[in-house]
Amino acid sequence: MPKVDVYDVEGNKVKTMTLKEEVFGIKPNEEVVHSVLLNYLANQRQGTQSTKTRGEVRGGGRKPWKQKGTGRARQGSIRAPQWIKGGIALGPKPRSYKYRINKKEKQLAIKSLLSEKVLEKNLVIVDKFDFSEIKTKQVVSAINNLKVEGKTLIMIPEKDENVQKSARNVEGVRTISVSTINVFDLLKYKNLIVTVDTVKKLEEVYA
């Protein structure tokens, strides 16, 4: 079972915590992570792109010239696709890109990325974030004390305005809760800072 040191926001070691192997100690499955990431990105697409067909373009109500006797190709409307300002043939229309993926695959992908953070020593555990007020300086100070460099994801057990609003203006830092965890953020951010309560909740949900 993996063991990780626990620090306070001052950067002092408080204790050592043993993590559940089935959540933080599995062999990362890259294929499943890739599959779940594609699903996440597809579900984020709005699918609002649209083009007008010949029936939706304004104008072109009458036949531009008679069918025979002009020597020109027969035409039914100046809004047919071959005309400038005509309708678009087979163009994109609003659609949904969403599709479902197995719940067990999602869980395996999350556990794979959490285990990878432990393996690469990019998981930092703090005893708690006890912010009495909204202050960006508190988050910056904590990150510096913990000697975390690079893009950082802070995961808290549940919504906490003081933590979330204190961190939102710090460049390269994002805050999420256990309920909003996703593979995109875990892949995008190199470091993961979690509290002891966050670890317990993750183990409760994913073990």
Number of domains making up the chain: 2
Question: Where does residue 182 rank: exposed (0-12), middle (13-18), buried (19+ CB within 10 A)?
Answer: middle
Q: Say what the pLDDT of residue 1 is.
A: 79
| pLDDT tens digits along 20-32 | 999 999 999 999 9
* Residues 91 and 105 both lie in one domain: no
- Does the model's pTM come out above 0.85? no
Residues 141 and 129 in one domain: yes
Residue-wise pLDDT for 83-121, tens only, equals 999 999 999 999 999 999 999 999 999 999 999 999 999
**Whole-number average pLDDT of the chain:** 93
47 neighbors 97 (Cβ within 8 angstroms):
yes
Which pLDDT belongs to residue 207?
A: 82
User: Do 171 and 149 have their domain in common?
Assistant: yes
Kind of pairing between the strands at 191-195 and 123-126: parallel
For the chain, give the percent of residues with pLDDT over 70: 100
Domain coverage including residue 162: 3-45+100-206
CATH label of the domain that carries residue 186: 3.40.1370.10
